[in-house]
């Protein structure tokens, strides 16, 4: 048609204001179709270009190249129709300084400055693919103390009450994850963190995990889960760098946590049980191993493979009492090369003889045979010719006065017997038989230990020595 504004030849269509000089140019429609505002030439590939202050070429009238305003719709809308297209691209070409490629604001106190939604068609997400609402990515090579942050969330509100959250992750899936932190550096010297949390407040939490499910069923909500898959790895590491600090504290039964004033590696508090340890091996094992810096070792809840031992280790077994001045002092238990039970009692010679029957509970738990005889000790408590013992068995013994005497005197007795075997059956029907007939049983081996790798100031790990062997003794 003839009703148009433009050119009829292969020349650009130019709009100027305030004069005909090149500096007066406002709009240029290239003969090939692209439209340029406030500049004579546009970038290759641009269909519509707007230039504001700070760009080369013509004089630009303002700071914002494009502003879109609406009360109900979208101030700016971009759409791409193929898998490789980009609906909106934002680029800041500055190579120095703290530049921003995209700036988005929401004036409402309940607003969202940026919303990213993937899979708006609600289609099934195929196996092995990822639908990503928002992606942050940093390219390049890090140098020295430089930081590469894919996504940064900052709360800049003045706090009185309520929660200020830098990054919030949420999923509606029964098997989903609110936030995933992943590092792909798989080198042996890598010290990267999948998730890093830091708190600077007096009661702050560097990382906070909260499992809020309170329903019934076969469920086990977990506030924080740590997992590793390496022989030298750790599912969870807690470290306090203060010389008087506590590495970790665990609190159960809705109690208030307690810890040592001087600090410790870990502290645990519960209503009826402070800590629980469980092991599953059918061979030798223990619930706890304790070692000191010189290599002494204590095995707690030890199964040798043939018998149970409560505590095996250096030193003595002690109890604590108060002396006459109120000071705490120790008493030490006697120990023997075999497992023994003892009992004590009193009796009465009548016409020179007496029968002593042992407690049935003791009888049930001792072993008395030719190889493991009952040991009996008699102390007369009156004038007589002396005493001797006959008819020793697992149920008792007879006491006689020497020389056929007929005294009627009291006496004290003590016995020592080998501990009997025991059989323990689990709820699942697993049976374990423990025998205590051995003398001078072998002590458990001293377990080798290795120091943990601790990153140095430059981020590289401080390599430990070879595995440390405990003291073997002579």
pLDDT in tens, 345-380: 999 999 999 999 999 999 999 999 999 999 999 999
> What local confidence, expressed as pLDDT, does residue 54 receive?
52
> What local confidence, expressed as pLDDT, does residue 22 receive?
82
Return residue ranges of the chain for CATH 2.60.40.
Answer: 340-423
CATH assignment, 340-423: 2.60.40
| Model confidence, pTM | 0.70
Q: Would you say 206 and 200 are in contact if contact means Cβ atoms under 8 Å apart? A: no
> What local confidence, expressed as pLDDT, does residue 382 receive?
98
Closest CA to 294 of 471, 423, 433: 471
Closest CA to 168 of 103, 221, 100, 112: 112
> What local confidence, expressed as pLDDT, does residue 133 receive?
74
> What local confidence, expressed as pLDDT, does residue 390 receive?
98
Q: Would you say 450 and 467 are in contact if contact means Cβ atoms under 8 Å apart? A: yes
> What local confidence, expressed as pLDDT, does residue 77 receive?
82
Q: How far is CA 439 from CA 338, 368, 414, in A?
A: 5, 15, 21
Mean pLDDT by 10 residues, the chain (474 residues): 88 91 87 87 86 59 76 82 77 77 78 77 80 78 71 70 70 69 65 72 81 87 87 87 94 95 96 95 94 95 95 96 98 97 98 99 98 98 98 98 98 98 93 95 92 63 50 44
Closest CA to 113 of 156, 173, 150, 66: 156
- Terminal Cα-to-Cα distance of the chain (whole angstroms): 110
pLDDT in tens, 259-297: 999 999 999 999 999 999 999 998 999 999 999 999 999
């Amino acid at each position: 048609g003839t009703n148009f504004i433009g050119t009829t030849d292969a020349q650009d269509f130019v709009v100027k204001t305030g004069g005909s000089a090149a500096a007066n140019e406002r709009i240029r429609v290239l003969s090939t179709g692209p439209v340029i505002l406030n500049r004579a030439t546009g970038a290759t590939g641009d269909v519509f270009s707007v230039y504001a202050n700070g760009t080369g070429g013509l004089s630009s009238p303002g700071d914002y190249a494009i502003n879109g305003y609406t009360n109900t719709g979208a101030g700016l809308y971009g759409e791409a129709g193929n898998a490789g297209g980009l609906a909106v691209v934002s680029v800041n070409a500055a190579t120095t300084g703290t530049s921003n490629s995209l700036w988005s604001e929401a004036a409402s106190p309940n607003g969202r400055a940026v919303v990213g939604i993937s899979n708006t068609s609600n289609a099934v997400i195929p196996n092995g693919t990822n639908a990503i609402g928002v992606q942050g990515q940093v390219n390049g090579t890090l140098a020295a103390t430089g930081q590469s942050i894919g996504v940064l969330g900052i709360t800049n509100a003045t706090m009185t009450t309520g929660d200020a959250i830098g990054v919030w992750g949420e999923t509606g899936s029964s098997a989903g994850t609110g936030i995933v932190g992943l590092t792909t550096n798989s080198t042996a010297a890598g010290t990267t963190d999948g998730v890093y949390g830091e708190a600077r407040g007096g009661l702050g939490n560097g990382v906070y995990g909260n499992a809020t499910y309170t329903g019934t069923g076969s469920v086990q909500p977990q506030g924080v889960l740590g997992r590793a898959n390496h022989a030298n790895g750790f599912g969870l590491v807690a470290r306090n760098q203060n010389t008087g600090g506590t590495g970790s504290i665990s609190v159960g039964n809705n109690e208030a946590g307690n810890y040592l004033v001087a600090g410790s590696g870990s502290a645990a508090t519960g209503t009826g049980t402070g800590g629980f340890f469980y092991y599953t091996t059918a061979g030798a094992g223990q619930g706890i191993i304790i070692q000191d810096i010189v290599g002494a070792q204590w095995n707690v809840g030890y199964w040798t493979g043939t018998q149970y031992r409560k505590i095996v280790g250096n030193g003595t077994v002690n109890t604590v009492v108060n002396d006459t001045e109120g000071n705490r002092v120790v008493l030490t238990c006697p120990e023997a090369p075999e497992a023994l039970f003892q009992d004590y009692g009193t009796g009465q010679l009548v016409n020179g003889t007496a029968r002593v029957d042992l407690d049935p509970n003791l009888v049930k738990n001792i072993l008395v045979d030719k190889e493991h005889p009952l040991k009996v000790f008699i102390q007369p408590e009156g004038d007589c010719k002396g005493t001797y013992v006959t008819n020793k068995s697992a149920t008792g013994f007879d006491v006689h006065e020497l020389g056929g005497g007929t005294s009627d005197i009291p006496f004290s007795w003590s016995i020592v017997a080998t501990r009997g075997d025991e059989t323990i059956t689990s709820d699942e029907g697993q049976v374990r038989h423990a025998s205590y007939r051995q003398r001078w049983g072998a002590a458990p081996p001293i377990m080798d230990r290795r120091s943990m790798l601790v990153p140095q100031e430059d981020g590289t790990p401080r390599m430990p020595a070879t595995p440390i062997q405990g003291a073997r003794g002579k």
